[in-house]
């Protein structure tokens, strides 16, 4: 993938041609379905506010600023490995599933004590005109290149200690946030789209899926050794409706 470097990149390693050899491949062997000596360990919120060193960074940088700054994302990603070096079998890049809606043109804020907030969610199918993924100049790699840089730099910072995982939000979960404008106990608005605006809902799901798939490919190209797809709100739909 083409790299665009700037002054801020001078302090990070963007070499994707030669990574340190992996010393602990337990997670990858388990992911391939191989028999392992024990179950690998990693945590969903492995890098986060339970760590004082993370909270120190958040005093000076808002959440998405950390995500968008490769050096900071690397630092936060490796913090748990420093503290619990012998207890963890994987690192997960510090990012957020909602960088995809951001890349598609929606503003997303992380509000302390509340969580993600979309000031202008997709209230009607006509609002999809505000999305930028159909623009001729749109590029997933350009919009989300900061995540790729963080992944590459983190692979080097880990020095092969454990594999690095990438991730992306799945289409229904991302659509739910984009329509609801944040978290919800019922996701009534998103469900309404599925049944009242069936054609538009399928179009939106497809567009989100296309961006998410390209994003995952880019993460692997940048050095992620495994990738996860989080469909956090799948349980809000029946198996039939989800299918």
What are the residue numbers of the active site? 45, 49, 58, 96, 177
Which residues 6+ apart lie within 8 Å of 6 measured at CB? none
Helices (H) and strands (E) in the chain, counts: 11, 5
Q: Which residues are bridge partners to 157 per DSSP?
A: none
| CA dist., res. 19 & res. 97, Å (int) | 26
Q: Which residues are bridge partners to 115 per DSSP?
A: 111
Structural tokens at position 1: 């993938």
| CA dist., res. 103 & res. 132, Å (int) | 8
User: 215, 58, 55: which is closest to 133 by C-alpha?
Assistant: 215
C-alpha radius of gyration, the chain, whole number? 18
| CA dist., res. 50 & res. 37, Å (int) | 29
Q: Give the β-pairing of 109-111 and 115-117.
A: antiparallel
Segments in the chain forming alpha helices (H): 26-31, 52-60, 63-68, 70-83, 99-103, 140-143, 145-158, 171-180, 188-196, 198-222, 239-242
């Amino acid at each position: 993938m083409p790299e665009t470097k700037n002054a801020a990149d001078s302090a990070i390693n963007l070499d994707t041609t030669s990574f340190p050899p992996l010393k602990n491949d337990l997670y990858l062997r388990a992911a391939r379905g191989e028999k392992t000596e024990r179950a690998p360990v990693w945590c969903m919120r492995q890098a986060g506010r339970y760590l004082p060193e993370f909270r120190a960074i958040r005093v000076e940088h808002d959440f998405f600023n950390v995500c968008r700054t490769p050096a900071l994302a690397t630092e936060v990603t490796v913090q748990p490995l420093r503290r619990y070096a012998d207890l963890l079998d994987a690192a997960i890049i510090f990012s957020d599933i909602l960088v995809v809606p951001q890349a598609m043109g929606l503003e997303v804020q992380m509000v302390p004590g509340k969580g993600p907030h979309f000031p202008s969610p997709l209230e009607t199918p006509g609002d999809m005109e505000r999305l930028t993924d159909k623009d001729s100049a749109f590029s997933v790699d350009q919009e989300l290149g900061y995540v790729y840089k963080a992944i590459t730099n983190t692979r080097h910072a880990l020095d092969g200690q454990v594999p690095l995982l990438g991730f992306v939000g799945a289409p229904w979960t991302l659509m739910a946030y984009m329509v609801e404008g944040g978290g919800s106990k019922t996701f009534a608005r998103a469900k309404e789209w599925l049944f009242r605006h069936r054609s538009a809902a399928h179009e939106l799901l497809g567009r989100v899926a296309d961006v998410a798939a390209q994003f995952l490919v880019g993460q692997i190209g940048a050095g992620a050794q495994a990738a996860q797809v989080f469909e956090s709100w799948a349980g809000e739909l029946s198996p039939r409706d989800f299918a």
